[in-house]
Amino acid sequence: MTATRAEVAVEALVADIETLVRCEPPSSSSDHEPAARSADVVAAPGRRLLDTEPDRVVIDGCTHLRWRFGEAPRVLLLGHHDTV
């Protein structure tokens, strides 16, 4: 039996969630290398789904990701990828 588009999309979503859950984000705010690797893991599905690279913003050694679309931003989605 051939999978429907919805089934394929759900399988891809579950795979992305599994990848994110299995990522070992940093537990210490002073260890910036694991945070950068965690940002790489978070960026991958975002890059694929949004078809654009995120801006990497490094503040005090911590890597943050930012996607921008259009000229006048009207919506902000905010999250974090650490264990704190």
CB 63 within 8 A of CB 56: yes
**Is the separation of the CB atoms in 65 and 43 below 8 Å?**
yes
Query: Would 40 be classed as within a structural domain?
Result: yes
Residue 73 belongs to some domain of the structure:
no
- The reply to whether 48 falls in a domain is yes
79 falls within a domain: no
Q: Rounded CA gap, 2 and 72, in Å?
A: 42
pTM: 0.73
* Rg of the Cα atoms in the chain: 15
**Mean pLDDT in residue range 64-76:** 82
pLDDT tens, 72-83?
767 887 887 766
82 lies in some domain = no
In a domain, 83, yes or no: no
Parent domain of 12: 5-66
Is 24 a member of any domain?
A: yes
